[in-house]
Chain A
């Protein structure tokens, strides 16, 4: 088990190192001058512009030798300093991102957990009956083929415009100010539901299909046939098949994280939901490079943390990794 975690941690550390290096490398070796581009989008008078020009050139550290720029970048990063946002000047990027994080967590955590649980259980049931399989599988395939933003747009159009039962923009109504009242909480939930639901649905389709296919493979495995020959009840065989099928679904979740996060980004754009995705769009439109780089790092850190949590859960549910046997190739 120590070897398992050691290997995983090494990979994550290397990944983080590589990600930070990419984050440092890209602005410096891409064609064009990021500082000039960034200032071209900010409309300020010329004296302020020249001050900002100097400030940002210094902040990017473009006047120093490369190795020193790289070390400074790491030093700043470890101090939690990701620079100043140009679009929300003069707020520091770290603070801007910290304000957005709660919305992402509120959206992603329930959507990932609930869709995974519901999808797996639903898929397992679907594998059981031919009728359900024939109706559920095609729907599952269509859902998982749907681009996240398109489902979001359709839901916003149908529930927000045609039926007019859900708001389609923001995290709460402009007329309300954040307070701890039932009215406000209800309003937040109302705004939260559609983005959550569209994230949930796309993932749900994928998990249901995955579980359905895994169960069918497991039921063909030797142990299932052996149990069957022994006369074990079907429900028992199904349960063993389910337990075995959950493991690949768990590593599947780790592999899917990047795609899910990307899905959340575009869903937030559709619903103008003030998480990282929404910030990112604004940052891109305003060429706010520090904010873009900050978003990149936050996404990487989030995905790495989630991966680590999944690793721990994997050890908890798979006795083979717990006893030091290699259950899952690292």
Chain B
């Protein structure tokens, strides 16, 4: 009963939080664009639809065409799909690994905690991008799935660290002791006692990982290590730079993909702050 009331309270504040509203609105817009955008266009992302080469945005080509006469709008909506796919897979993997290690280290403690801690610190210090680079460079064929798995497997450390700290502070609480005394398994205690009590934390971790995966993927794509068989927002930017969009002033080629990334990641940050205010009453008055 109390839990239900609490949920309603969160919902009450969530629905009235401007930052959350704006963030969710922007994300929803881009999700819909990724889902239905391809239905609005008659072209394929790599088709040379305009024989005269680059043209500025018009009613025929909503975001203009590239140096080769490919439709930028089609590329952007398909790129959005790739971006969301990578973000969901990558941040999903990172959050899961982070949860697993964080819960284990925080709940079990002892030598296991020490080992996981050292591992986390090592992976935390290594620049993720450098590792991604060297792996991606040696792969001749790169797929979106491959890219997301790589990103997910290198992005978990700070999540693990944060979740460990939270778990550590929760594990000596009375209700956890109670569960332990009543003979519940560690697995059950972690997932039915500890995890629900840090749900807000986990959600926010996932959101930040989501944004991080998008930026990581864009960086990787831009440096020439993106998927070899698909289009993505980072790749559009890379192609635009490679083929002189700057020098020829073809702004419609590089502005939309970067703007989409900035708005999506910005909206995620905004959601995160909004959620923080919803879950943390101290911050609400601000």
Q: Which A residues are within 8 Å of any B CB, using their own CB?
A: 11-12, 14-15, 18-19, 22-23, 26-27, 30-32, 34, 37, 141-142, 144-150, 153-154, 156-157, 160-161, 168, 216, 220, 255, 257-259, 261-263, 265-266, 269-270, 277, 280-281, 283-285, 289, 292-293, 295-296, 299-300, 303-304, 307, 330
Interface string of B247-284 (1 = CB under 8 A from A): 10101001101110111111011100100000000110
Contact of A216 with B286 at beta-carbon distance under 8 Å, contacts A265-B129, A284-B225, A289-B138 already known: yes
B130, B158, B219 — which one has the most chain A CB atoms within 10 A of its CB?
A: B130
Among B138, B262, B266, max chain A CB count under 10 A is at B138
Determine whether B128 belongs to the interface, using a CB cutoff of 8 Å to chain A. yes
Taking Cβ atoms with an 8 Å cutoff, the residues of B that contact A are 118, 121-122, 124-131, 133-135, 137-140, 158, 211, 215-216, 218-219, 222-225, 234, 237, 240-241, 246-247, 249, 251, 254-255, 257-259, 261-266, 268-270, 273, 282-283, 286
CB-based contact A19/B223 at 8 Å? no
Asked whether, in the complex, the Cβ of A27 is within 8 Å of the Cβ of B126, the reply is no
Which of B127, B133, B224, B283 is in CB contact (< 8 Å) with A216?
B283
Answer whether A153 and B246 are a contact pair too, CB < 8 Å, given A22-B131, A289-B138. yes
Q: CB distance A15 to B219 under 8 Å? A: no
Let me know if B133 and A296 touch, CB within 8 A: yes
Are B122's CB and A15's CB within 8 A?
A: yes
Chain A residues within an 8 Å CB radius of B130 = 19, 258, 261-262, 295-296, 299-300, 303
**How far apart are A138's CB and chain B's nearest CB, in angstroms?**
8
Task: Please give, as numbers and ranges, the residues of chain B lying within 8 Å of A265 by CB-CB distance.
Answer: 129, 219, 223
Q: A141, B126: Cβ atoms under 8 Å?
A: no
Instruction: Kindly provide the distance from the CB of A284 to the nearest chain B CB, expressed in whole angstroms.
Output: 5
Residues of B contacting A257 with CB < 8 Å?
Answer: 127
Q: What 9 A-B pairs have minimum CB-CB distances, sorted nearest first? A: A150-B258, A258-B127, A262-B129, A145-B266, A145-B265, A30-B138, A299-B130, A296-B134, A284-B224
Contacts of A304 in B (CB 8 A): 125
Cβ B246 vs Cβ A149 within 8 A: no
Structural contact, A277 and B262, CB atoms closer than 8 A: no
Q: Return the chain A residue nearest B247 by Cβ.
A: A161
**A149 in contact with B219 (CB, 8 Å):** yes
User: What chain A residues lie within 8 Å of B131 (beta carbons)?
Assistant: 22, 296
Contact residues in A for B128 (Cβ distance below 8 Å): 258-259, 262
Known: A147-B261, A150-B237. A281 touches B127 (CB 8 A): no
CB neighbours (8 Å) of B125 from chain A are 11-12, 15, 303-304, 307
> How far is it, in angstroms, between the C-alpha of A118 and the C-alpha of B146 when the chains are bound?
39
Instruction: Check A141–B270 contact: CB distance below 8 A.
Output: yes
Q: Assess A26 versus B135: contact at CB under 8 Å? Given A149-B237, A284-B225, A296-B130.
A: yes
Q: Closest residue to B131 on the A side, CB-wise?
A: A22
Chain B contact surface mostly = helix
6 further A-B pairs in the complex, CB-CB below 8 A; given A19-B126, A216-B286, A289-B137: A146-B258, A147-B222, A156-B246, A157-B254, A258-B130, A304-B125
Shortest beta-carbon distance from B219 to chain A in Å: 5
A321 to B139, CA, bound (A): 44
Which residue of B135, B218, B258 has the most chain A CB atoms within 10 A of its CB atom? B258
A112 to chain B, nearest CB (A): 14
Cα distance A295–B127 when bound, in Å?
A: 12
CB neighbours (8 Å) of A255 from chain B are: 124, 158
Pairwise interchain contact B224-A285, C-beta atoms closer than 8 A:
yes
Report yes or no: B137 in contact with A284, Cβ–Cβ below 8 A.
yes
- Distance A285 CA – B137 CA, assembled complex (angstroms): 9
- In the complex with contacts A156-B246, A258-B130, A284-B225, A32-B140 CB distance below 8 A: yes
Q: Are A281 and B224 in contact (CB under 8 A)?
A: yes
Contacts of A277 in B (CB 8 A): 223
Measured CA separation A293–B133 after assembly (Å): 9
A31 closest partner in B (C-beta): B140
B128, B246, B283: most-surrounded residue (chain A CB, <10 A): B246
Min C-beta distance of B14 to chain A, whole Å? 19
B258 contacts A141, C-beta separation under 8 Å: no
> Chain B contacts of A149 at CB under 8 A?
218-219, 222, 237, 258
**Closest partner residue, chain B, to A27 (CB atom):** B138
Nearest CB of chain A from residue B141's CB, rounded to whole Å: 9
Choice from B224, B258, B283 contacting A154 with Cβ under 8 Å: B258
Contact present for A23 and B134 (CB under 8 Å): yes
User: Which chain A residue shows the least CB distance to B224?
Assistant: A284
